[in-house]
A and B are shown apart, each in its own frame.
Chain A
């Protein structure tokens, strides 16, 4: 922790007193986590405990109370979905001009190619009414198109990473190196829980159809933040959280008595070692105890009417499908969970892109549109920030053989499209512009730090003030950069 032993000692003294209070309250009948956040908030507000590992609440009035982040793992092709480039149809199989490529570094997968033939999208686009002069969207997304008036498309997103692991790590943690806290963990740390019976940060994963890259649990890890802020993955199937159920024959009273005893022992150990992870452990045991009741209620779809289920599509009853996870995301959102992270795997279409992307969009299009409609009519969309993004885009040139029926696309970090909806983002607009080849950004570039800064702003937090001291310096999600994208905020 701190380098100076004396400083560390003094720090411990104040922390000991502080946690002493927490501990005493914790053993009462009330939930430990709720109290931790209650006491910590007070400490944060008083300003004299800057290093406490504690949620502090919004800095200013938030537009969004929570986030649903749909990450398309593998990087979907912006050219075939969102970024309409009609003139490329007349450049079929032409070589990509070097003036456009501009010395861009390539992945090992295409750097050996002798030529870079332009592959226009073979999907037809349609124009949909929005709050500007309309937005063009691919025929692959008919349902998403039906909510285009709710969506803010950012066509000028760019990133530094050129491969999946560092790319996702950059989007999730603000740096390409593993080890920093995930975006969801920062939100949990910054805002605290708004449902004491469920985790602040929930992760839902859908297996895709195509080429699937590794999806490490560290993408939702809390890094150096206390581990209570890490994402909790809900599995599909009958047991959303492993080992949550009491064994047969164990009564809830017995479990309570056991937890009380264990937390007493933990408290003694904590007073001896002052390790905050012990407090986390106690809080998590309490959370698990409450989740024994709250998770079955969450995953029981009996209260959903048929019309709603139909809206999410035929897969909605299939555990782990994107439809089921979108519905679960809405149920989590209406229960006040702060950060809901959805992963859809399988977008890494280096070859056979047309057939694979059809399968992928077939799985996500209807559910993601249904999620927006469902949030909207329940009055939740205005306070729920929905994000749809991959870790980078895909190239305009074909990887492998190019025909008018088939092609592949390599990784492209220089420009790609993501979209946002609800939560204080201007609905029905497009932001940023790419060149004719969808290779470089022409105006309003948005980098990952800018996006993070903007998202935190919508959640009521100043990205420069949301810090955590670790190894002698204050860390931020946005590291040393990040500027607000004001034009997309209401």
Chain B
């Protein structure tokens, strides 16, 4: 029975068109019979009016049933409902007046009134199903086309008049490659995948796939299959298995409904609290999903697409300007960079500029990235701002797409472990690496030893041990290593210093400067002769001149200088200063005046 009532409610969008059409027909009849009205026309009109009121009442009731399902913006629902009732009441009055009164004017008045109420009723109804600015959207898009910016979430995909800037497949690369890069595959399903089939997929089908499916991929994201979910969307992966709080999908679902980035958008059916809890539990459990044959095979292809996309220049110059193509040229510009490039024989020509998308992704995570210099393609990245929340997966995801460009990476105080070392060791131009106060182990140093570019390595405040000394010793490019509180014994440090005299090993133990001696106890006297310059006492304190020797203006008695037993006056302090650059010439000039 419940289901039948629900189905009745869902007939609302169908039924509601009947009164609209009939009211339209009545308007046409009334207009055609303006001049010559007869009884038969009125009878047809009356019949139509009764049918209209019946259809309107059915619409109101079915609409009320449908609204009970929830998920719509309550304010709009209320307005639509009240106006719907008004329409029904008016059409009923219209039928009554037409039935019992032969006179045309009340009937016509009521008809106009009903039509007037119908317009906003329809508007609010359509707002709920099609979105608020559905009708005028093409106009708005036309106006915004030149300023629209593609890092705004959904912007590119939202706008049918603009081609999507990136094929959805390419967006995959980060998530897919991240899994491979750190040597594990966190996204590969294991078991419990029937939770997905039974619980999660229906929720997605209910509230998400209307806009996130193969046919309507808003924000580059589709959620209709496990593969698609893994691919993520424009702003990266949709979920972080095991970390519901870091999963974009759940972050957005939990945002307040009026928030711009809330999903599903305001006015669309919302998931219930139970459904949200189910999604959270599922992600926490590692987001198990049925394995598929395509996911593993697809990843390399996506990577290729991503690589070719980054290599090709931006298709729209206006956009590329806005999306911060920080690295504009490929030629090394200074000694530092040249050095870094030399150390990377694999690509002597210097790196291609990092993709604007990768840089935007890093910045949107509040991670700092800047070019090494104004026209360099090398990058400096620092996780300082959010260090305590950074783990291997996040660091790898952000760094992988720009690994060829990285010259300086600060991961100090983050949670990264040995896993990240695999990626760091393959960065061809990485010169300085800060792993201070991270939970790395000696295994990470053995991995990093493969790097042929690393010059400065900061390992202070780590839990390493003496075993890392041979690995450090073998890193020929290394010039500075910081080992304060790194668990390395004084003997190992001493040995490392002997083995590698060219390597500056800073273990926090060479901080005190040597005292070379203190002066004797102080004795004060005034025995010393005065300096050789003899000071002749002035004959008189009256200045010898009336005009300034520099400018020729009258002198100011405030600015007097004693020179060679004479008092010389000046017009301003600057002239007095100038005087001392060449007093004799000045005095000679004075005589001339």
Contacts and interface: CB of A to CB of B under 8 A. Distances in A.
Contact of A60 (B374, B384, B388, B526): B374
Contacts of A387: none
Contacts of A436: 531
A176 B516 CA distance: 41
A62 B336 CA distance: 10
A256 B460 contact: no
A61 B373 contact: yes
Interface stretch (B9-17, B64-72, B360-368, B444-452): B360-368
Contacts of A245: none
Interface stretch (B34-42, B78-86, B185-193, B323-331): B323-331
Nearest to A21: B149
Interface stretch (B255-263, B271-279, B342-350): B255-263
Contact of B513 (A97, A146, A294): A146
A93 B461 CA distance: 54
A120 B322 contact: no
A197 B359 CA distance: 18
A336 B436 CA distance: 14
A379 B460 contact: yes
A290 B385 CA distance: 10
Given A124-B518, A335-B385, A260 B434 contact: no
Given A42-B324, A94-B530, A145-B513, A257 B382 contact: no
Contact of B484 (A125, A129, A378): A378
B526 A149 contact: no
B30 interface: no
Given A125-B518, A196-B368, A256-B259, A334 B412 contact: yes
Given A60-B333, A378-B484, A92 B535 contact: no
Given A89-B523, A103-B562, A97 B508 contact: no
Interface string B403-418: 0000000101100000
Contacts of A318: none
Interface string A115-138: 000001010111111100010000
Nearest to A139: B518
Contacts of A257: 256, 258-259
Contacts of B413: 334
A260 B258 CA distance: 10
Interface stretch (A33-41, A225-233, A272-280): A33-41
B28 interface: no
Interface string B546-582: 0000000000000001100000000001001001100
B321 A335 contact: no
B514 A61 contact: no
A253 interface: yes
A28 B436 contact: no
B580 A102 contact: yes
Contacts of A57: 326, 370-371, 374
Nearest to B336: A61
A25 B152 contact: yes
A194 B382 contact: yes
B366 A196 contact: yes
A86 B525 CA distance: 12
A438 B225 CA distance: 81
Given A90-B526, A120-B524, A197-B386, A17 B147 contact: yes
Contacts of B530: 94, 97
Contact of B522 (A122, A128, A193): A122
B517 A126 contact: yes
A473 interface: no
Contact of A134 (B360, B460, B516): B516
B527 A98 contact: no
B526 A193 contact: no
A126 B522 CA distance: 12
A127 B333 contact: no
Contact of B334 (A61, A127, A335): A61
A253 B261 contact: no
A31 B368 CA distance: 12
* Chain B interface extent, by class: 35 or more
Contacts of B48: none
Contacts of A29: 153, 255, 260-261
Given A17-B147, A39-B324, A103-B580, A336 B368 contact: yes
A28 B260 contact: yes
Contacts of B513: 128-130, 145-149
Given A45-B326, A194-B382, A377-B482, A126 B366 contact: no
Nearest to B521: A124
Contact of B384 (A89, A127, A335, A382): A335
A24 B152 contact: yes
B151 interface: yes
Contacts of B561: 103
Contact of B385 (A24, A129, A294, A404): A294
B528 interface: yes
Contact of B147 (A21, A28, A30): A21
A167 interface: no
Interface residues of A, number: 84
A393 B580 CA distance: 22
Nearest to B322: A21
A128 B514 CA distance: 6
Given A35-B363, A87-B528, A126 B518 contact: yes
A336 to B, nearest CB: 4
Contact of A378 (B146, B147, B148, B458): B458
Contacts of B527: 90
A130 B513 CA distance: 7
Contacts of A194: 368, 370, 382, 384-385
Nearest to B149: A21
A99 B533 contact: yes
A125 B152 CA distance: 63
A266 interface: no
Contacts of A134: 516
Contacts of B258: 257, 260
A198 interface: yes
Nearest to B380: A65
A129 B366 contact: no
A288 B514 CA distance: 46
Given A39-B324, A94-B528, A124-B521, A146 B512 contact: yes
Contacts of A39: 322, 324
Contacts of B255: 29
A257 B258 CA distance: 8
Contacts of B580: 102-103
B516 A127 contact: yes
Contact of A42 (B259, B321, B524): B321
Contacts of A17: 146-147
A28 B364 CA distance: 10
Given A30-B364, A379-B458, A86 B324 contact: no
A42 B337 contact: no
Interface string A28-70: 1111001100110111011000000000111111100000000
A62 B485 CA distance: 28
24 contacts: A25-B152, A28-B152, A29-B260, A56-B374, A59-B374, A60-B373, A61-B373, A90-B525, A98-B535, A102-B580, A103-B579, A127-B516, A127-B518, A128-B515, A147-B512, A197-B385, A257-B256, A260-B258, A336-B368, A336-B382, A373-B508, A378-B484, A382-B480, A460-B373
Interface of A: 17, 20-21, 24-25, 27-31, 34-35, 38-39, 41-43, 45-46, 56-62, 86-87, 89-94, 97-100, 102-103, 105, 120, 122, 124-130, 134, 139, 145-149, 191-198, 253, 256-257, 260, 290, 294, 297, 334-336, 373, 376-379, 382, 404, 436, 460
Given A90-B525, A129-B516, A376-B511, 12 more contacts: A21-B149, A89-B523, A102-B580, A128-B513, A129-B514, A145-B513, A145-B515, A260-B259, A294-B385, A377-B511, A379-B434, A379-B460
Closest 10 CB pairs of A and B: A377-B508, A379-B458, A336-B384, A90-B528, A377-B484, A379-B482, A92-B524, A126-B518, A99-B533, A195-B385
